[in-house]
Chain A
Amino acid sequence: MSSRCRARLAALAALALLSACDREERQSRAQPVPETLPTPRQSILQPGVPARTAADPRARAYENNSYQMSQGQLLYQKMNCSGCHAHGGGGMGPALSDAEWRYGGSMEEIVATIDQGRPNGMPSWRGKLTEQQMWQLAAYVRSLSAQPRQDVLSSRPDAPSSTEPATLQSRQPVVPSSPAGVQGTSR
């Protein structure tokens, strides 16, 4: 093997290491950063359809991490979310596993909904949950409609069976697409 070839292999290995799978990392320690919750701006003409804000980098980080999602699953039960929203089917609160999002279905919007509460009964969890926990919950909530990457979802909780496993659902993302150009101008 030529030395050049070796160097190339080494570079490849290093690259593989760098791109190591973050989505498995048990990153339990939130970055001690000031609370900067996303505040998606509601558009003027379509109050139900929020304008898209610039994507928060944490959205992808939490949504693509199976550990964070499983923490969200734990919180979903322990914080009594399941009491209103069942296991996605809804009850007192709206269904989370269907294709309708009253207040937007993006990570940022779900976090904002958890944080601020919503007028028809969704309580505000600000000060009751930490920001990290809200992100974890949002990631789990999106997994109820099988939206994050399939390889991040887990098939079922250790709980009474209630739904077909998320990993088998083929539901597509349901956030209404925004008209082109809104992203930069609506601020």
Chain B
Amino acid sequence: MTGIARDGEALKGAELEGRLDRTWRPAPGLWGWLTTVDHKDIGRRYIYTAMTFLILGSILSVAMRLQLARPESGLISPARYNQIFTMHGTTMMFLFAVPVMEAAAIYVIPLMMGTRNIAFPRLNAFSYWTYLFGALLLWVGFVLNVGPDAGWFMYTPLSGPQFSPGKRTDIWAQMITFTEVAGLAVAIELTATILKFRAPGMSLNRMPLYAWAILVTSIMIILSLPAVALCSGMLIADRLIGTQFFNPFEHGDPLLWQHLFWFFAHPEVYIIFLPATGFVSQIVETFTGRPVIAYPAMVLAVVATGFLSFGVWVHHMFATGLPRLGYDFYTAATMAVAIPASIQIFCWIATMWLGKPRYATPFLYVIAFIVTFVIGGLSGVMVASVPLDLQFHDTYFVVAHFHYVLVGGAVFPLLGALTYWFPKFSGRMLSEGLGKLAFWLIFLGFNIAFFPMHITGMLGMPRRVYTYPANMGWDGLNMLSSIGVGVIVLGGLVFLANVALTLRRPRDAAPNPWNAASLEWAAASPPPPYNFPHVPVVRSATPLWEQGPLPVMTGLRVDDRELLITTAIDARPDIRYPSPEGTIWPLLSAIALAALFIGSIFTPWAVVIGLAPLGVAFLAWFWPKGSPTAEPVIE
């Protein structure tokens, strides 16, 4: 036992950091890149990938706006247009929005919790690879003209074997399986990390609001993703082996798809939105210089949103002819979601009143968030009403509504959060000037593009049309929307230029450049592989605003990867726990899984044959390496 090195009075400062670095740093070179299980590496990678898909998805939207700028335009063929809008929706929802929210959490949460790595780090690596392969499957398919073309919602029977022949929809469905495996894995990691890896003293009521948002989001993912996995599984079974789930003749039902799909896809909106409220809470706290008021109300609002979001899916199905009584329940439930959202909005505004706002770029994004998201929220209240929804459903009004919710409510906070945490990611501050320019372009462009869609929708323009007739009064508004998208693209380019220029500069960021209160700012910018040399201790909800030096605890092993598990509610130190080394097997397992999934599109036997390599990969993954080192060894 004496051979074990631990931090403490005897081992601190540069020597400790050097030894911790040796223990925690991934292997050098390509091998290290492939085998790393560091949450920061994976998280950064995840963010880059998701942002790449944001860019790709945006390119598709530019294509659509070009086509729709003029009536009866022949720029893009209908078959291609249908692929494009399907790819846009799928990419944005499954490959960008949900992954990027999880990705940010993968990066930030362990730092915010004051721990050294995420729970189940190998699973984390596996999750990334799975996500990547799923995303590549979809996009390679699209590039090869096998992109899905039945809409991102894949309503049966249009997506079924008869009306979507070929492999397009199969590719979509297996992409869902990939992202579902990835998303569920991350959700479980994050839940465990938040509940068990918190710094000593960070009881649940001292947890940053962002962590609450991620906790609720993760639980929602765990409860909702199985629905889409199940229905896409049914769909692919219908398509490949001839099951009858969605064949009305054999007493299957297209509405079964809609129920299962929206049971997932409505909570998904909140899965995207809740982390964004977490971003907003953190930014508001930092840039007003005080905690968000009414912490319990804020937490309750987050939990209530998560809870209510499971009771509203039928409002996507008001036009399907279900019993009226059910509709009234879902109207009320949908309206009720507005209550927790309004509580959060109020608390943020009241915090602004009580604090001293600083108009840094992240804060501007929060203001833009409130201005736009509230519009989206209120138009959401409109579509919750059955008579109004029966007019708005599947028109451009709804397109406007959910872009206000998702872009206003999630992308703006995300851009704010990226700006906010950029020094932590990279060790460099983004340029405020370019940042503000990008902000204004994106904000104005967004409103130019999407506000007119409310009106085109009210004028009767349906969604998902590849073209529209002239002289319906839609021409000018559509042109305006297209111009707005051009402005957004300009803003996006400025944002990218800002990032690119900043990354060329040397690292200059202090650990806590914004004078924020949460623990991630106690680590260096960027954080070392082990995050914190000692285990930080928390005494309040805003630990970094406490007076005096940061309290820490010592005694974790330095020569082996070890971190601290605390109790779930009070965060009392409980167990020292070994954290796994980097390994190639998660990648190989993901490859084996990808082979199985992709193969299954072509023959059901791939499932049987593919199990063997997958089993081998999993076995190698879980089999402990070397001789046992962790104490104690039972004799």
Contacts and interface: CB of A to CB of B under 8 A. Distances in A.
- A–B contact at 8 Å CB threshold (below): yes
Nearest to B249: A160
A156 to B, nearest CB: 4
Nearest to A155: B242
Nearest to B160: A158
A76 to B, nearest CB: 12
A21 B146 CA distance: 7
Contacts of A66: 165-167
B357 interface: no
A145 to B, nearest CB: 16
Interface in A159-177: 159-161, 164-165, 167-168
B247 A69 contact: no
A150 interface: yes
B238 interface: yes
B242 A158 contact: no
A51 interface: no
Interface string A138-156: 0000000000001110111
Contacts of A157: 161-162
A67 interface: yes
Given A17-B143, A24-B146, A154 B249 contact: no
Nearest to B254: A158
A16 B144 contact: yes
B145 A25 contact: yes
Interface string B593-610: 000000001111000000
Contacts of A164: 242
Interface string B121-133: 0000000000000
B166 A24 contact: yes
Contacts of B162: 70, 73, 154, 156-159
Contacts of B603: 150
B68 to A, nearest CB: 21
A81 to B, nearest CB: 16
A85 interface: no
A167 B166 contact: no
Interface string A13-38: 00011001101111000000000000
A174 to B, nearest CB: 21
B239 interface: yes
Interface in B158-211: 160-163, 165-168
A23 B145 CA distance: 10
Contact of A155 (B79, B146, B238): B238
A119 B163 CA distance: 35
Contacts of B242: 155-156, 161, 164-165, 167-168
A156 B161 CA distance: 6
B511 interface: no
A20 B79 contact: no
Interface string A54-97: 00000000000011011001000000000000000000000000
Given A25-B145, A67-B165, A151 B602 contact: yes
B248 interface: yes
B241 interface: yes
Given A160-B250, A165-B242, A17 B166 contact: no
A158 B241 contact: no
B144 A21 contact: yes
A156 B249 CA distance: 12
A161 B241 contact: no
Contacts of A21: 144-146, 167
A155 B241 contact: yes
Interface string B235-267: 000111110100111100000000000000000
Interface string A90-109: 00000000000000000000
A24 B248 contact: no
24 contacts: A17-B144, A20-B144, A21-B167, A25-B79, A70-B163, A73-B162, A150-B602, A151-B601, A151-B602, A152-B165, A154-B161, A155-B241, A157-B161, A158-B161, A158-B247, A159-B247, A160-B249, A161-B244, A161-B247, A164-B242, A165-B242, A167-B242, A168-B242, A168-B604
Interface of B: 79, 143-146, 157, 160-163, 165-168, 238-242, 244, 247-250, 601-604
Interface of A: 16-17, 20-21, 23-26, 66-67, 69-70, 73, 150-152, 154-161, 164-165, 167-168
